[in-house]
Structure 1
Amino acid sequence: MEQLLILLIFLPLVGAVVTAFLGNAAKHVALGSAILSLGLTLITVCNFTPDASTQFAVNYPWIQDLGINFHAGIDGISMITILLTNVLVPIIILSAYQHDYKKPNAFFALILFMQFGLLLVFTALDAFLFYIGWEAALIPIYFICAIWGGKDRIRVNMKFFVYTIAGSLFMLMGIIYLYLQNPAHNFEIQAFYNLNLDAVQQGWIFWAFFIAFAIKMPIFPFHTWQPDTYTEAPTPGTMLLSGIMLKMGIYGVIRWLLPIAPVGVQEWGHLAIILSIIGVVYASIIAFTQKDAKRLVAYSSIAHVGLIAAGIFALNTQGMQGAMVQMLSHGINVVGLFFVLDIIASRMKTNKIADLGGIAKKAPQLAIAFLIIVLGTVALPGTNGFIGEFLLLIGIYQYQVWAGVFAGLSIIFGAVYMFRMYQNIMLGKTNDLTIGFTDIKGSEKVVLYVICAMIIALGVYPKPILHLSEASVQQLIEQVSQKLTSVN
């Protein structure tokens, strides 16, 4: 079954190369490649045993003199992120069908190349391979934003690039340090887990990795690149950033930071939770003031990710399982929100909330789909957002009551600014701009119907997703606890 993982990782790369040499058919080939990847993912899920083991593993010598191997595998934690990636990429590609991008072959090839980088990150069991995937996912999104972004794309993209490269360098220094401490002189993740680092060493490793991951998520105060980048990027780029790429940071904390530096997490994790919760409250308050709907959703994303990060650093099963589910749910919801706003912007040429209104009268199908996505975003029971946020809040509350109280403000604040945005855009009277609005059609219907179906299905029956990651999450918590016990 190891060939299945090789196919899963490299199919998007092959698709990217083929797509790059096509013309107008590029988007169809890209969509076909993404659907094939989704099919392989479903086969992988069906053949996956939901225990704590690593499955479908491949381990080939790569740069033997440096102890670098192409070592990859899947457990319950990585299975969730692979599912997230390969479910959302075809949706993102299909959402781009309504636009005629210049050089479509390059545009869609970059999306597939980014998918390849993301899958490397989510399956790598070698730190060098993980870093290669980390950078491989950054390069295409940089060009997507720089070439197809808005008027201020150059300045905004440079800020994004500087932030992410700086974070990557911190992580690279941490990886090199761990490699030098490893008697086996390889980059194997298990060898890094087994290192006996003292408290000072783990403190440095914590910050080297945390800064890189906090920038990618992003967590306050490393978030300042995000709202501008989300706003200026073309909508498929924004979807990739918000729906999948930020999960690289969350996954990095779970897979690398917690097991390698548990003492560092014990010492500094409380500060990480404080920063995460500050981000929840701060981003929610800023969202209230936004006049542009796309920026409002960008700040909403910061708040939701802050809640996920706090749940992870709570270091309990409920918080970690909540993070697993919410990674998937947040990706689906935020992609849906940005797609609805893209539909509106493509028709009205604006995302200014004050310029809109009464769209529901002209586009009832869009209004219903938008409402379902908003309900999922504000965690209404019966939607996908509920179970994740419920578990996250339980986990944070178990860690500290006051942390749970302030983290819970995200639900209250989120309901207010999301419903107010919906009311101002969709309800009320039509105006001179919205009087000619037309309802969704073609690929727009397909994308929104699929997203709404997933929101309801995961909300009504989240057990399969929870079951996929449960054993791996439990093993991770036990592993960290045992290390802390042996040190103390």
Structure 2
Amino acid sequence: MEQLLILLIFLPVIGALVTAFTGNAAKHVALVFAVASLALTAVVAGQFIPDASTQFVVNLPWIQDLGIHFHAGIDGISLITVLLTNVLVPIIILASYQHNYKSPAGFFALILFMQAGLLVVFTAMDAFLFYIGWEAALIPIYFICAIWGGKDRIKVNMKFFVYTIAGSLFMLLGIIYLYLQNPAHNFDIQAFYQLHLDPVQQGWIFWSFFIAFAIKMPIFPFHTWQPDTYTEAPAAGTMLLSGIMLKMGIYGVIRWLLPIVPAGVQEWGNTAIILSIIGIVYASLIAFKQKDAKRLIAYSSIAHVGLISAGIFALNTQGMQGAMIQMLSHGVNVIGLFFVLDIIFSRVKTNTIAELGGIAKSAPKLAIAFLIIVLGTVALPGTNGFIGEFLLLIGIYQYNIWAVVFAGLTVIFGAVYMFRLYQNIMLGKTNELTVGFADIKGTEQIVLVIICALIIVLGVYPKPILHLSEASVQQLLEQVNQKLTSVK
């Protein structure tokens, strides 16, 4: 069983090394390895028993003098994020087929290296290994954005790098402190769970981890790097950042923050919810004013992630389960949105909303696909966005009725600016840029069919995903409550 997880983690590394030496065939080789990873994930999911246990465990000595192990495993929570990663990476690679990137071997190899880093983050049960994966996922996306990004890529990318490195250093300090408090002198996650820290210690550790996770998601006021980076990054980079990488922060809160410092969460969780809700309202209002479609989607992502964050800190089953399925749904939807905008930009060389219009007349297939993705994004019942947002709002309501009043604005505001975006781009009169707009075909059509199918299937039948994480979520919340009782 442990061989499956080792292969799952290292297959993208092998793929990246092979891809790096394949020249113009790189995209095909990368896709083969990404699909192989997806097939292996299907095997893991098929053998997974949906209880609260950690399965496929690997625990190998690494740096024994420091108590560091290559310790990884999969439970219901991590399986959702592994599925998210290995479903979306082949879609992102296929979506990049329409581009002729310079040095394609390097570009697609970096995507696979990033996939490996993400899988380490989502399966690590050793804090040192978790930190290595956290940094390993950052390095490839930095080069993807810096080499293949837009004209302001260097300045924007430097801001992104400084933000994320600063957050990582805070987290590293927290990890080192926990290691020093651990009598066993190792970085094992279960040992960290068993630590008895006083409320003051937990408060400091809360902020050391939360800042790192809040930057990655991002949560107000740690979000300022995000819109510029999403706009300047190449299409695949934006999809990786928005679809998968921001989930590292959400996963970090669930896996590391809540069970290690529950008293810190109890003291500062209300602040985290307030910041999340401020981000929802702020980002939604800013989205109304955006003239660039890519920036509008970037701000809408901040609003949706703010809702997920608020649901997690509500500390109840509905909020946590809503966060689990919404991570997957948001990843699918946001990749679909950015891919549609990439298709439009590849035809007319602009994402300025005022310069578009009437595209549906000459590209009905694209218009239908875009509408389905928009409906999923605004959480129409029957689409993937509905069940996640419904559970999140229930969870926040159980926490505080006023919190859900303001958090619910993400649904109302989101529907307004997303439908207005669709109207301005797809409907109305054509102009000299859009009059001869070519409809989707080939890989563009395949990608959008897959995304639309996922939106509908997850919306109509979300039970299998919720069932995977249910037992692990229940165990985590029980663990948090038990530690809070012992602290009191």
Quickly name the TM-score band, shorter chain normalised: over 0.9
What are the superposed Cα offsets for residues 25-61 of structure 1, whole Å, 9 maximum, x if unpaired? 1000000000000000001000000000000000000
Provide the rounded CA distance (Å) in 1 between the counterparts of 2:136 and 2:18.
18
Residue aligned with 1:29, SS: helix
Residue aligned with 1:24, SS: helix
Residue aligned with 2:131, SS: helix
Map of 1:441 onto structure 2: 441
Provide the rounded CA distance (Å) in 1 between the counterparts of 2:470 and 2:113.
30
Residue aligned with 1:436, SS: coil
Residue aligned with 1:434, SS: coil
Structure 1 residue 5 corresponds to structure 2 residue 10:
no
Deviation at residue 314 of structure 1 after TM alignment: 0.2
Aligned letter for 2:61?
Answer: P
Aligned counterparts, 1:376-415, within 5 A: 376-415=376-415
Aligned counterparts, 1:325-364, within 5 A: 325-364=325-364
Provide the rounded CA distance (Å) in 2 between the counterparts of 1:239 and 1:99.
14
Map of 2:426 onto structure 1: 426
Aligned counterparts, 1:447-466, within 5 A: 447-466=447-466
What are the superposed Cα offsets for residues 293-350 of structure 1, whole Å, 9 maximum, x if unpaired? 0000000000000000000000000000000000000000000000000000000000
Provide the rounded CA distance (Å) in 2 between the counterparts of 1:486 and 1:2.
35
What are the superposed Cα offsets for residues 159-205 of structure 1, whole Å, 9 maximum, x if unpaired? 00000000000000000000000000000000000000000100000
Deviation at residue 453 of structure 1 after TM alignment: 0.1
Provide the rounded CA distance (Å) in 1 between the counterparts of 2:433 and 2:86.
37
Identical residues among aligned pairs (%): 84
Aligned letter for 1:405?
Answer: V
Structure 1 residue 261 corresponds to structure 2 residue 261:
yes
Map of 2:307 onto structure 1: 307
Aligned letter for 1:382?
Answer: G
Provide the rounded CA distance (Å) in 1 between the counterparts of 2:282 and 2:91.
31
Map of 2:82 onto structure 1: 82
Structure 1 residue 206 corresponds to structure 2 residue 196:
no
Normalising by the residue count of structure 2, what TM-score does the alignment of the two structures yield? 1.00
Aligned letter for 1:45?
Answer: A
Provide the rounded CA distance (Å) in 2 between the counterparts of 1:210 and 1:432.
49
What are the superposed Cα offsets for residues 351-391 of structure 1, whole Å, 9 maximum, x if unpaired? 00000000000000000000000000000000000000000
Map of 1:476 onto structure 2: 476
Structure 1 residue 136 corresponds to structure 2 residue 132:
no
Residue aligned with 2:259, SS: helix
Provide the rounded CA distance (Å) in 2 between the counterparts of 1:443 and 1:243.
19
Deviation at residue 436 of structure 1 after TM alignment: 1.0
Provide the rounded CA distance (Å) in 1 between the counterparts of 2:149 and 2:138.
16
Provide the rounded CA distance (Å) in 1 between the counterparts of 2:331 and 2:280.
17
Provide the rounded CA distance (Å) in 2 between the counterparts of 1:20 and 1:176.
35
Map of 1:24 onto structure 2: 24
Map of 1:57 onto structure 2: 57
Deviation at residue 485 of structure 1 after TM alignment: 1.2
Residue aligned with 1:53, SS: coil
Map of 1:294 onto structure 2: 294
Provide the rounded CA distance (Å) in 1 between the counterparts of 2:309 and 2:195.
25
Provide the rounded CA distance (Å) in 2 between the counterparts of 1:243 and 1:304.
12
Provide the rounded CA distance (Å) in 2 between the counterparts of 1:303 and 1:481.
29
Residue aligned with 2:58, SS: strand
Aligned letter for 1:67?
Answer: G
Map of 2:367 onto structure 1: 367
What are the superposed Cα offsets for residues 101-135 of structure 1, whole Å, 9 maximum, x if unpaired? 00000000000000000000000000000000000
Provide the rounded CA distance (Å) in 2 between the counterparts of 1:66 and 1:182.
12
Map of 2:173 onto structure 1: 173
Aligned letter for 2:322?
Answer: G
Residue aligned with 2:24, SS: coil
Residue aligned with 2:435, SS: helix
Deviation at residue 467 of structure 1 after TM alignment: 0.2
Gaps of 5+ in 1: none
Aligned letter for 2:239?
Answer: M
What are the superposed Cα offsets for residues 432-488 of structure 1, whole Å, 9 maximum, x if unpaired? 110010000100000000000000000000000000000000000111011111111
Deviation at residue 154 of structure 1 after TM alignment: 0.4
Map of 2:162 onto structure 1: 162
Aligned letter for 1:348?
Answer: V
Map of 2:486 onto structure 1: 486
Aligned letter for 1:109?
Answer: A
Task: Kindly report the root-mean-square deviation, in angstroms, between the aligned alpha carbons of the 2 structures.
Answer: 0.3
Provide the rounded CA distance (Å) in 1 between the counterparts of 2:126 and 2:21.
32
Deviation at residue 244 of structure 1 after TM alignment: 0.1
Deviation at residue 139 of structure 1 after TM alignment: 0.1
Aligned letter for 2:328?
Answer: L
Provide the rounded CA distance (Å) in 1 between the counterparts of 2:253 and 2:130.
13
Map of 1:182 onto structure 2: 182
Provide the rounded CA distance (Å) in 2 between the counterparts of 1:58 and 1:343.
42
Map of 1:73 onto structure 2: 73
Residue aligned with 1:219, SS: coil
Map of 1:96 onto structure 2: 96
Deviation at residue 429 of structure 1 after TM alignment: 1.2
